[in-house]
Amino acid sequence: MQAEADAVIAADPDLRADRDLLASVAGIGTQTASTVLAELPERTAGRSAQAAAAYAGLAPREYRSGSSVRKRTRLSKAGNARLRKALFLPTLTAIRFNPLLKGFFERLVAAGKPRMQAVGACMRKLVMLCYGVLKNRQPFDPNWSSRITR
């Protein structure tokens, strides 16, 4: 199945360019990029990166039930399970090698968040990064936000 997906992407120059853009994000390989391209909704629909994260089921969901509102927020998981599954191990790799996600993960853990909750937040950030790379048609640049503030 992966060979067929690679053949389809190789035949289309736009898909090949999109896969190369996604592969520029540290932690995303060609196989994960193919899955993200297949599972992520169209970018031309006027959606945002937050909507893409919600589509993947990576948006936070607050627990509310009468007077007991002190439970932890969780991932909604009301989205594309294949995309979440495909992004779990790449997120662990990105936490090690992507300076943006590494710093984000370390800040969350230092603030007292459980490690798996921090991994879920990094998965959400990774989906948003992938969406931004595809929407802006620019390779991933970890120093992009510091360029804007100058």
Q: Can you give the residue range of the structural domain that contains 102?
A: 2-143
Residue 115 lies in a domain: yes
- Tens of pLDDT along 43-72? 655 678 888 888 888 888 777 676 666 677
Residue 31 lies in a domain: yes
Residue 150 lies in a domain: no
Q: C-alpha distances in angstroms, 4 versus 28, 34, 145?
A: 19, 11, 37
Q: How far apart are CA 134 and CA 129, in angstroms?
A: 9
Of 66-70, 77-81, 104-108, 116-120, the one with minimum mean pLDDT is: 66-70
Tokens for 116, please give them. Answer: 């798996």
Q: What is the pLDDT of residue 122?
A: 94
Q: How far apart are CA 91 and CA 119, in angstroms?
A: 7
Residue 112 lies in a domain: yes
Please say if the pLDDT value at position 22 is more than 60. Answer: yes
Residues 6+ apart with CB under 8 A from 17: none
Look at the chain and report how many structural domains it folds into.
Answer: 1
Q: What is the pLDDT of residue 68?
A: 63
Beta bridge partners of 74: 61
Count of helix runs (H) and strand runs (E) in the chain = 8, 2
- Entry pTM: 0.84
- For a pLDDT cut of 90, what percent of the chain falls above it? 35
Chain position carrying tokens 């896969």: 19
Residues 6+ apart with CB under 8 A from 74: 60, 61, 63
Task: Give the residue, 125 or 142, on which the prediction is more confident.
Answer: 125
